[in-house]
Amino acid sequence: MSWTEERIEKLTKMWEGGSTASQIAEELGGVSRNAVIGKAHRLGLKARPSPVKANEKPDAAAAPAPKVAKPAAPPPEPKVAAAPRPVAPAAPVTPPAPAPRAAAPAPAPEAKAAGDAPTPAPQPRIVSVGPGGFLRQGPGDQQAPIPPAPPRRLVPARPSPEIADKTSLLDLNDRICRWPMGHPGEPDFHFCGEKVNPGFPYCVEHCGRAYQAQLPRGHRRPPPPMPFGGPRVR
DNA sequence: CCCTGATTCGC
DNA sequence: GCGAATCAGG
């Protein structure tokens, strides 16, 4: 396989969209993960959170308290003209949202969507045990201290405009149908997005697909189409 | 083991 | 330019 215009374009899009090299290789077909990475580098697009290069600590913990206060040795680092990154010079800490690669096709009904605040209920302090064994609490313990409101929504912006009007992984919550549409990793992959059948993770239509009564052997009907449009043919 | 991206180096 | 082999971290 050769790197045609379209293949390079697809590689670039997916790479910048956060897909892994494996996914991209799979998607393109005929190339290995290494080929994709190699090509990506040659194209000049890298700079993505790498597991092997995650840390690059200046130094701190290494020096166990130098005798006198270090006379401030600010590392003279005016090397700028060397190789300025073509894109964002320093994506702070937040990587571009990873593609919904491992999006579970059938999450448990009680699966928490991204957006539930784990609010720990503060236990009332037990002061003494009253007659009969019931617990008694002090007058000051009636009101639990108000837990600090946890910061909400730590989600990066939607990674790519192509799925702007689709129901993305980030849009999932307890009220909308999470039935997957299309194949994960592909640009138009999204979720159903309909209002759920109350108490279920899917809308009424997809509940019908997800929950099939088990018939006795020999009376089985051919299985309905699976999510993702069925197993991928490779 | 699996995965990830980075790098090297013979082709 | 290409990509398998290798490296190294999670």
Report pLDDT for A184: 66
Domain segments of chain A as ranges: 5-43, 162-217
Distance in angstroms: CA A222, C1' B3: 36
Strand C: which bases are under 7 Å from protein Cβ? Answer: 1-10
- Tell me the pLDDT tens digit for each residue of A26-72: 888 889 999 999 999 999 888 777 666 555 555 444 444 444 444 44
Distance in angstroms: CA A37, C1' C6: 14
Q: A138 Cβ partners below 8 Å, 6+ apart?
A: A125, A127
pLDDT of A137 strictly over 60: no
Report pLDDT for A220: 52
Q: How far apart are CA A227 and CA A104, in angstroms?
A: 10
pLDDT of A5 strictly over 50: yes
Closest Cα partner for A28 from A42, A47, A8? Answer: A8
pLDDT of A228 strictly over 50: yes
Residue A69, token pair as written in the block: 């206060």
Strand B: which bases are under 7 Å from protein Cβ? Answer: 3-8
* Three-state SS sequence of chain A: CCCCHHHHHHHHHHHHHCCCHHHHHHHHCCCCHHHHHHHHHHCCCCCCCCCCCCCCCCCCCCCCCCCCCCCCCCCCCCCCCCCCCCCCCCCCCCCCCCCCCCCCCCCCCCCCCCCCCCCCCCCCCCCEECCCCCEECCHHHCCCCCCCCCCCCCCCCCCCHHHCCCECHHHCCCCECCCEECCCCCCCCEECCCECCCCCCCCHHHHHHHCCCCCCCCCCCCCCCCHHHCCCCC
Q: Which nucleotide is nearest to A33 (CA to C1')?
A: C3
Report pLDDT for A200: 78
β-strand pairing of A135-136 with A190-191: unpaired
The mean predicted confidence, pLDDT, of chain A is 61
Task: HSE, CB side, 13 Å, CA atoms: give it for residue A213.
Answer: 3
Considering only CA atoms, name the residue closest to the C1' of nucleotide B4: A51
Q: Which nucleotide is nearest to A41 (CA to C1')?
A: B6
- Tell me the pLDDT tens digit for each residue of A72-90: 444 444 434 333 444 434 4
pLDDT of A113 strictly over 50: no
Structure pTM? 0.35
Residue A74, token pair as written in the block: 């600010």
The stretch A195-224 carries a mean pLDDT of 69
pLDDT band, residue A115 (cuts 50/70/90): very low
Report pLDDT for A190: 79
pLDDT of A3 strictly over 80: yes
Residues engaging strand B (CB under 7 angstroms)? A 20-23, 33-34, 37-38, 40-41, 46-53
The stretch A85-102 carries a mean pLDDT of 40
pLDDT of A153 strictly over 80: no
pLDDT band, residue A179 (cuts 50/70/90): confident
